[in-house]
């Protein structure tokens, strides 16, 4: 069991920002097209964070030309270059799947108030 934990430690990223469900994030993803490689930015609201350790994933949702697009990213994937937190959301749920059914302004998550 300890051997498995040692192996997992190798793959864990250390430069991950602190973000939670409801936050708006920019995920910089490496995309390989043939021999070329480029970075594509996917910006949206974090709907869920699941599992833990090496297997941890997070789901990001955005609207693209009026169509909802969701992507599930492995948190410790080498394909993720960086994650930027644009704004902190104030939510009372661990999973925000109800946002899928919302349209327009009802989809917007309130911003967390800053403590002074």
Instruction: Specify the pTM.
Output: 0.90
Per-residue model confidence as pLDDT tens digits over 6-28: 888 888 899 999 999 999 999 99
- Does residue 109 lie within any of the structural domains? no
Q: What whole-number distance in Å separates Cα of residue 4 and Cα of residue 25? A: 31
- The radius of gyration computed from the CA coordinates of the chain, to the nearest angstrom, equals 16
| Domain assignment of residue 40, given as a range | 2-100
Q: Are 22 and 45 in contact (CB under 8 A)?
A: yes
Chain centroid to CA 1: 29
Measured CA to CA, the distance from residue 111 to residue 107 in angstroms comes to 13
Looking at residue 55, its pLDDT comes to 93
In a domain, 23, yes or no: yes
> Going by C-beta distance under 8 Å and a sequence separation of 6 or more, which residues neighbour residue 7?
none
Domain count, the chain: 1
Does residue 113 form part of some domain?
no
List pLDDT tens digits, range 39-77: 999 999 999 999 988 999 999 999 999 899 999 999 999
pLDDT of residue 116: 62
CATH of the domain at 94: 2.30.30.790
Residue 61 lies in a domain: yes
């Amino acid at each position: 069991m300890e051997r498995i934990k040692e192996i997992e430690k190798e793959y864990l990223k250390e430069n991950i920002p602190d973000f939670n469900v409801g936050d708006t994030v920019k995920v910089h993803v490496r995309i390989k097209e043939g021999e070329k490689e480029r970075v594509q930015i996917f910006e949206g609201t974090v709907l869920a964070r699941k599992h833990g350790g090496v297997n941890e994933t997070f789901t990001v949702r955005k609207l693209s030309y009026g169509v909802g697009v969701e992507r599930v990213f492995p948190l410790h994937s080498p394909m993720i270059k960086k994650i930027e937190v644009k704004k902190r959301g104030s939510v009372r749920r661990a999973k925000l799947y109800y946002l899928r059914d919302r349209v327009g302004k009802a989809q917007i998550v309130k911003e967390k108030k800053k403590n002074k």
